[in-house]
Structure 1
Amino acid sequence: MLLFVQTTIKQKEREEILQQLMEEEQKEAQEMRHQEEIEKRIRQRLELSQVLSMQVKEKEEKLKKESAEDAKCKDELMKRLAEDRKLEQMSEQKRRMKMLELRRDVENMMLERRQRRAEEMQLLIKLKEQEEKEMEQRKQIIEEERMIMLKEHVKNLVGYLPKGLLKPDDLPLLGSDIAEAQNLS
């Protein structure tokens, strides 16, 4: 019996040891699961942190690119505005130049017109003077011819000449006989 008791005690001890071992193994397994879960959470947090860090870097790079593009666009816009202003100034300057050229052309046309009018007036004055001169020459020629005809034919025409045909200046040139005869009639 002793042996039986000893075997039962040993068996109980074994069972207790086995029980303790199983409990320890379960505890270890539970601790391992718990440890793995903690490690998993830590890994997830690290991964999440890395992902967030990458996203922040990407956003910063994107913002830098956008900022650089905005600055580039702004520079291009400013260049275009400057070119537009320059073109406007050039077109304004061209417009002013055209206006000045037009003004000069109008002034030249007016000057030419005045010169033509002055030349026409000079020509008209010359023509009138020439016409008056020719009229004077004709009058003189007519008067000379009249005097020649009167001198030749006055003796035959005394008494037949109408009043006013002989001028008072003509009488001394024709002679005293004709002047007396004309006064009588």
Structure 2
Amino acid sequence: MERQRMEEENRRIKEYANTQQQREDVAKAEKRAREQALDNVQRTLADQIKRDREEREEQELVRQELYLEEQEQLVRRRERDEMEVRIKQRLELQRERDEQIQFKHLRDGEIKQEEDRFRQQLMAKFAEDDRIEQMNAQKRRIKQMEHKKAVDNLLEQRRRQMTVDKQREVDERIEGERVEQVRKQIIEEERIKLLREHAHRLLGYLPKGVIRDEKDLDYLGNDFKSEFKRRQVNMQHLGGWGN
């Protein structure tokens, strides 16, 4: 009887131990499953974060490449435009020189004709005043030479006065151009001053055209320049333009 009781108790102890072991095994399995699931989620999340980062980096690289390509196109277009302007200026200068030469020839001819008429009128007037037709041949030649010398002096004075008048016109034009250049320089200096004072606070709200070129950005420092270009890249990527 005692033996049976001991065997029964051992059996229950063994069953209890088996049950506990099974529970522990189940708990361990569930823990491993949870850890595996968490690890899977973390790996999936890490992979997604990596893909998102790579996608953003690729998009940023594409934007940078597009921006650089557009800048290169702008440089080439600007160089082409500048070349066209220089060619047009040379052609215009050549045309103006040709016109000036042609005008000078015409003007010289007109001046020569005018001087000839003036000379004839003066000679006729001097002859009439001195009644040269009533003189003998020698006196007539002497008087004609005097008249010619007087006419030449008058014509020379007239030419000098024309030269003085023309030089005055040139000087006035040069002075006008100098004054205009000074005025433009003052306006440009004031524009740069306003940019330096206000551009940093208005970054993102500056109207198109306020920042004209790379030189304007140089006035405003590297931080402003970098942020301005970054915003340009973003706006160009979105199909727009802005500061």
Q: Same fold (TM over 0.5)?
A: yes
Query: Are the structure 2 counterparts of residues 138 and 109 from structure 1 closer, same or farther at C-alpha, using a change threshold of 3 Å?
Result: same
Report the Cα offset of residue 140 of structure 1. 7.0
AA aligned to 2:73 is K
Deviations 1:82-129 (A, max 9, x none): 222212222222222222333333333333333333233212211222
Q: SS in structure 2 opposite 1:20?
A: helix
The residue aligned with 2:71 is 84
AA aligned to 1:125 is K
Deviations 1:15-49 (A, max 9, x none): 33222212221221112112211221122112212
Identical pairs, percent: 12
Structure 2 residue aligned with 1:93, among 80, 89, 92? 80
Structure 1 residue aligned with 2:4, among 10, 17, 23? 17
Structure 2 residue aligned with 1:52, among 36, 39, 50? 39
- Which deviates further from its counterpart, 120-129 or 108-117? 108-117
Q: How does 1:38-77 map to 2 (within 5 A)?
A: 38-77=25-64
Report the Cα offset of residue 130 of structure 1. 2.3
Higher-Rg structure is 1
How many residues are matched?
138
AA aligned to 2:86 is M
* Structure 2, unaligned runs of 5 or more: 141-243
- What CA RMSD, in Å, does the superposition of the two structures yield over aligned residues? 2.8
- Separation in 2 of the partners of 1:72 and 1:168? 105
Q: Quick one: higher RCO (CA 8 Å, sep 6+), 1 or 2?
A: 2
Query: TM-score, normalization: structure 1?
Result: 0.60
Report the Cα offset of residue 72 of structure 1. 2.3
The residue aligned with 1:182 is none
